[in-house]
A and B are shown apart, each in its own frame.
Chain A
Amino acid sequence: MRNKINLWTITTIAALVLEGWALYVVSLSPAHWRSSMIVKDEPAAHALYDKMIETMRQAESLSYQSVCSGPDDRDRASTYNILLKKPNYFHVEMSNVLSGYSTIVGDGDNLWFYWKGVRPFSAYEDKDSYEKTRANVYIKKATPIGRYSIRDQVNLLGTTWFGIILDPSIFHGHTDSLETYIDGIRSRGTDYAENEECEVIEVSFMKAQLTRYFWISKQDHLLWKIKEIVRLANNKVEVEEFSDISLNAVISQQKFSWSPPEGWQQWEKPGPDDFLLKPGTKAPDFELLSADGGKIKLSDYRGKIIWLYIWQCGSPSCREAMPHLQKLSEKYKDRGLVILGFNCADDKRIAKNFMRENSVTFPNILDSSHTAGKVIFDGYKNRSGTVPLSYIIDTRGNVVDAWSGYEEDNKRALAALKQAGIQPE
């Protein structure tokens, strides 16, 4: 009888321990897993990564097809047929369900972006101007060798669910803007991609805010697949798969020339600043969750000059700006300036860690709810989701100036603060 009781007691305790462990593991936030994803550099894996970049840069020509999709979301995939040639030629054909067919041609000096039929409507333009420019238009931009990014051009248009991960401009000598934020590169063994035997390497950026896995062919060091994980409030996973890869093949020069047919007009894509609230407009009030767990109401700061700063951990510019903002906050807080950070994209724990690492003490909204997203998208008209984004709001709650991006000298910010009533030194 006693043995039976002992057996039951042991079994119950074991089950409770097991369940406790299971609940602990299941309820761990993505941020916990993120810290374990920061990669320590392995020289051999790093050399493999460099070799892959080098192989792309050494080639005279390169062509491939890339399919970008979610891991289980092939229906919304985008297909890119890419032709690259030295010194500065490229031809990219893009197709997906959302935006139909579009083409970018780089003729050596300029890029030409045009659509077959009607161009797609992007969320951050108004209906009237779209109606006027929806057909027979093209974009033209200068392409100085190694100083432009094809990926940025494709992705900035915002008409795909899944943009390119590997920047084709690397072939022309361009350096990926994230390169300086690599934590480390390590090997993850071998795997097959499209029946090609590959070495898999893992690269983490910005303390694993972003991780990329590269499937590199053992045979010729060309890339066959990339998987990217962006760790925000909701983690985003995207896969880019390559096929029909051809290195140093002859590509007709005709592919790299295009001129607009008669009657077509040049179109300037509206920039993120074009939609922001204009000076003099009332800044919309809101009440949202703060970093310390309380609530922040914008109108509670009435009588102070507010620099509303919308940021995100994954943006290199935001990371660069944060220490400078902290200094400015300390310098001007006695003169009536409140810098109010606003982050509605990141997991709260990730954002808090980032603030701690940068010794940020100014108030911050950390709220990834739908309401917070609406405040930024509809209230403050950040239709393009650009970060960093700044609003200077005067003592009466009116917008003095608004702009996107970060300037190291804070020229525009200081001018706006002066206009709002703060005398910079």
Chain B
Amino acid sequence: MRAYELIKETFCRKIYILIIHLSWLSLYGGFWWLFLPMGNEFGQFIFIWGGFFLALALSAGIFGDDISSGRICVLVTKPFWPGELYIYRLLGLSLQAAVHFILAWCVIFILHTFIRQGSMNGLVLWLFASWLLFNTCAALSTSLSVVVGRAYNALLLLIVIITGFVVVGTMMAYLKQHSETEALLVSYFRFVCPPFEMLYKFAGGEYGKYSLTVGRFSLAKSVACVVHSLILTVVYSIVGIVLLSRRQFSSRRD
């Protein structure tokens, strides 16, 4: 019952969450309607909007709002383990995203049936990759929300990731002649940061080029991608749980 209430709260805590879901779904529909993309192009669109931006929008202030208002002191009283609060809230976000992506598929399916153009090939794989990316980004943003006040966690993560892409891109251009340093940096960003590149390749069938080429993708490499993405989500969550358990909260409003 407590779990259900906490999960439900992630959806009901702000009215704008429902608006975000509806506007994101209409955005997918509008993009499909106007540009009639092929499976992969639409997949890339949904991957960024659903996997990354949706995670930021839904997790904005997920703990920061409660910490700033002092409500957190009511929530983390014994026998309530703070980790439980974190897990159920993240689970709430993840479930919302799962339903969101199923609805997204339905929207596209209806449009596809209605206008009889475009292609839905590979869309399910893109939606699955988007959900995995959503989980990773949501875990990172939720953990950040424990230490960053109000809803600034999402904004901070957005700025860090965009800056990161620009800086890494520039560094790579300079490091072309130093392949070993470049390889080290690439490995660091590939394996420690949210797995944008890895899941993008996984969903696009990139790994299929190297092994089971008759099928859509290589099983071993794809499973490895999913495993890495889930483990990264767990690692980000553990950091958040540790931070939440160790912080002293004040019941006074900021």
Contacts and interface: CB of A to CB of B under 8 A. Distances in A.
Interface in A201-241: 202, 211, 213, 227, 229, 235, 237
A22 B221 CA distance: 8
Contacts of A188: 214
B209 interface: yes
A71 B205 contact: yes
B209 A237 contact: yes
B204 A72 contact: yes
Which bracket fits the contact residues of A?
A: 20 to 34
A15 interface: yes
- Ranked nearest first, the 10 interchain pairs of A and B with the lowest CB-CB distance are A33-B210, A25-B224, A22-B224, A22-B228, A22-B227, A72-B40, A235-B209, A19-B231, A26-B224, A188-B214
A22 B209 CA distance: 18
Interface of A: 15, 18-19, 21-28, 30, 33-34, 36-37, 71-72, 74, 188-189, 191, 200, 202, 211, 213, 227, 229, 235, 237, 289, 369-371
Contact of A36 (B40, B211, B227): B211
Interface string B152-185: 0000000000000000000000001101000000
A34 B211 CA distance: 8
Contacts of B198: 26
Nearest to B122: A72
Contacts of A36: 211
A295 B163 CA distance: 33
B213 interface: yes
A21 B204 CA distance: 22
A41 B21 CA distance: 54
Nearest to B214: A188
A371 B38 CA distance: 34
B16 interface: no
A28, A72, A202, A371: residue with the most chain B Cβ atoms closer than 10 Å: A72
Contact of A26 (B40, B176, B228): B228
A18 B231 contact: yes
B187 interface: yes
* Interface residue SS majority, chain B: helix
B220 A200 contact: no
Contact of B191 (A23, A34, A213): A23
Interface string B188-214: 001100000010000011000111011
Pick from B122, B210, B218, B227 the residue with the most CB of A within 10 Å. B210
A28 B211 CA distance: 12
A15 B220 contact: no
A202 B214 contact: yes
A25 B221 contact: yes
Contacts of A27: 187, 190
B95 to A, nearest CB: 23
B228 A23 contact: yes
B225 interface: yes
B214 A213 contact: yes
Given A15-B234, A37-B211, A72-B38, A371 B224 contact: no
Contacts of A200: 214
A74 B119 CA distance: 12
A33 B221 CA distance: 10
Nearest to A348: B179
Nearest to B179: A289
A72 B191 CA distance: 27
A190 B179 CA distance: 43
Contacts of B213: 202, 211, 213, 227, 229
Contacts of B228: 19, 22-23, 26
Contacts of A34: 210
B82 interface: no
A229 B205 CA distance: 14
A211 B211 CA distance: 11
Contact of A369 (B122, B177, B210, B214): B177
